[in-house]
Chains A and B, each alone.
Chain A
Amino acid sequence: MTAVAAGIRFDPYVVPALDGVAYGLLVFVAAAGLVLCFGVAGILNLAHGTLYAIGGYTAAALLDGGWPSLALALAVGVVAATASGALVAGLLTRLAARSHLTQALLTFGVALAGGSLLVSAFGPDDPPVRLPAALDGSVAVAGHRYAAYRLVFIVVAALLAGLLHLVVRRTRAGMLVRAAVDDAEMVAVLGVSPARIRVGVLAAAGALAGAAGVLGAPIIGPGPDTADAVLLLSLVVVVLGGLGSMAGTLLAALAVGQIQTLGVALAPSAAPFLLFAAMAAVLAVRARGLATARRAT
């Protein structure tokens, strides 16, 4: 009430638009791991949403309203999700010569079992997430009240995206990963095991999903449906982004964020169809872009 009296008001456009940026960046950090798995190892990792859920549940279990707990949750969530990603990679190693069908089925089995373990460990209800008090309030942005955490999240996620870009573009590890996409045999000739790159990539994808899960817990909270929802959103932005392009994925994720928040705020009755419509629209405009995407088999 005091805020309203002071002339600060809620706005039907600015707040959803900002929410959309936060949501889009969250989906990007989650989907980036999927792009890595898919682009490098040619694997459709159906357990990716479960790795996000691991991070989310860790945040719900460890956050107690203080700053140290946030750091601890981030560390534990990332380590747990990284280990789980490496476990998936280990299970897949012996199936490397098999078809993509069996790999999809295996990762689905892992997702099913992992989701079940998470629900039996943390219960069937969506647990609350307790943020540090400083982040729990709202701040004024250009005359509008806005949740402080989401602003901080936008900054952190943007930093993560930048860091990812630097690692992929500027480091030796990133160079090897990009080389493995183009010619795994040549990388092997250089003395780097492609199998090791696969494990590294799946573990890194797990780390990204785990970080997204911990940081995104106040936005897409942990619960029995989380894994499916995150996997779906990630898939849609990966497809929209042109299957394998990080920049395209970022663009698609930001667009999906706007569709999901601004669309729901402005056209609630049409909202369920907006994602479908977006996919159709993108294809109508740049069907060639999708069609010329690298074929991983």
Chain B
Amino acid sequence: MRRGAVRALRRGVAAMVVAALVLAPWTVDDYTVALLARTLALGLVAVSVALLTGVAGLPTLGQTAPYAAGAYASAVVGSHLSDVGLVHLAVAAAAGAALAAVTVPLVVSARGVVLLMITLAVGELAVTVVGRWRSVTGGTDGLAGVAASRPLWGLPVLATDRARYLYTLVVVAALVGVVLLVLRTRVGLLLRAGRDDEARLRAGGHRVAVHVAGVHVAAGAVAGAAGSLLVVAQQFVSPADFGFDTSALLLLGVVIGGTASVGGALVGAALVVAARDWLFGVLPGQAPLVLGLAFVAAVYLLPDGGRRPPVRGRLLPTVPARRPAPESPTPTGVRA
């Protein structure tokens, strides 16, 4: 009964948020609409972070890498090959997935702090490459004047902030819908199982390494698509969009939203990005200081987003924590 009421309340709030997002371009000024479009793009990256961090239990600070790959791929294709948004999205998702696939060997066997460290290194390296690869990315000056795109063949170009926002909203809604649907299938169940008890899943004959690689590439594709949306939203892209602070902001947003919830990640990221943009507006110069203190405060005040519910503790007698036993080959012979 109470659970039902909570669910109804959550659905009501979600419906109101969606309605507000759809109506936003007719109720607020163009500047805010453009800002909202950018926030939506970042929200989609947050969804990819939530997919890895919350659902699969693979904390990441490196989703800015596929995000940047998608953005630059989209901008280059948009300038030279095609002005069709769907093509940009496909290219961007492919670029994000490809970058994620290249880094799979790095991440597949790492967990916890090690994974945070490796993903952060990959993300930072990617931004360094972007900043130095002048001939393609325009270096630290970025790529300006990206041509306006049209959503599909035959449709008009997205000429106004409102049109760009609505395009972003539709794409984000569609992709989030796909992610949510996929997570409701067996795939989602297996990912959560791997997060909660990897050893048991492996003992059951499942190939955890394949799951990890799969979700990493899929999250890369989602982040890459978000990169394409960023280019559409601001018609400009530069390394500043993919800095270290963006990774950390996304992670904070996801932690605020509740790591395991895809919708929560979107809302959390939106809140954090909105707070940052507002801070930079009202406190020019002092914003990083306040933002840093806000980070510290948020960590102290928030419930621990990274901790998992103690499912095992209730089902099995508690065993004092020990170092993990040396890993032995599993029935399938896979060592993740």
- The complex places the Cα of A112 from the Cα of B294 at a distance, in Å, of 10
Q: Find B128's partner among A101, A110, A232, A283 (CB 8 Å cutoff).
A: A232
Closest 8 CB pairs of A and B: A109-B295, A113-B292, A99-B306, A112-B292, A101-B306, A272-B132, A297-B112, A116-B289
User: CB distance A272 to B113 under 8 Å?
Assistant: no
The verdict on B324 contacting chain A, using a C-beta distance below 8 Å, is: yes
The DSSP consensus for interface residues of chain A is: helix
Contact partners of B124 in chain A: CB under 8 A:
228, 231-232, 235
Nearest B residue to A92 by beta-carbon distance?
B299
Distance from A129 Cβ to chain B, minimum over Cβ atoms (Å): 24
7 A-B pairs within 8 Å (CB atoms) are namely A42-B113, A101-B53, A105-B252, A120-B286, A228-B124, A273-B129, A275-B128
User: CB distance A113 to B296 under 8 Å?
Assistant: yes
Nearest A residue to B336 by beta-carbon distance?
A291
The verdict on A104 contacting chain B, using a C-beta distance below 8 Å, is: yes
Interface string of A39-82 (1 = CB under 8 A from B): 00011101000000000000000000000000000000000000
User: CB distance B307 to A283 under 8 Å?
Assistant: no
Interface string of A85-123 (1 = CB under 8 A from B): 000000100110011111011101111111111001000
Distance from A201 Cβ to chain B, minimum over Cβ atoms (Å): 14
User: CB distance B306 to A291 under 8 Å?
Assistant: no
Which residues in chain A, 232-266, are within 8 Å of chain B measured between CB atoms?
A: 232, 235-236, 238-239, 243
Contact partners of A102 in chain B: CB under 8 A:
255, 299, 302, 304-306
Interface string of B105-117 (1 = CB under 8 A from A): 1100111111011
User: CB distance A105 to B248 under 8 Å?
Assistant: yes
Distance from B178 Cβ to chain A, minimum over Cβ atoms (Å): 26
List chain A positions with a Cβ less than 8 A from chain B. 38, 42-44, 46, 91, 94-95, 98-102, 104-106, 108-117, 120, 182-183, 228, 231-232, 235-236, 238-239, 243, 271-273, 275-276, 279-280, 283-284, 287, 290-291, 293, 295-297
User: CB distance A291 to B109 under 8 Å?
Assistant: yes
Contact partners of A284 in chain B: CB under 8 A:
105
User: CB distance B244 to A109 under 8 Å?
Assistant: no
The verdict on B91 contacting chain A, using a C-beta distance below 8 Å, is: no
Q: Interface range on chain B: under 10, 10 to 19, 20 to 34, or 35 or more?
A: 35 or more
User: CB distance A113 to B288 under 8 Å?
Assistant: yes
The DSSP consensus for interface residues of chain B is: helix
The verdict on B166 contacting chain A, using a C-beta distance below 8 Å, is: no
Query: Which residue, A94, A239, A275, has most C-beta atoms of chain B within 10 A?
Result: A239
The verdict on B293 contacting chain A, using a C-beta distance below 8 Å, is: yes
User: CB distance A100 to B112 under 8 Å?
Assistant: yes
Contact partners of A276 in chain B: CB under 8 A:
125, 129
Nearest A residue to B134 by beta-carbon distance?
A272
- The complex places the Cα of A287 from the Cα of B289 at a distance, in Å, of 40
The verdict on B278 contacting chain A, using a C-beta distance below 8 Å, is: no
Q: Find A275's partner among B125, B255, B298, B307 (CB 8 Å cutoff).
A: B125
The verdict on B291 contacting chain A, using a C-beta distance below 8 Å, is: yes
Distance from B175 Cβ to chain A, minimum over Cβ atoms (Å): 24
Q: Find B113's partner among A91, A94, A297 (CB 8 Å cutoff).
A: A297
Distance from B119 Cβ to chain A, minimum over Cβ atoms (Å): 10
User: CB distance B111 to A113 under 8 Å?
Assistant: no
- The complex places the Cα of A297 from the Cα of B59 at a distance, in Å, of 11
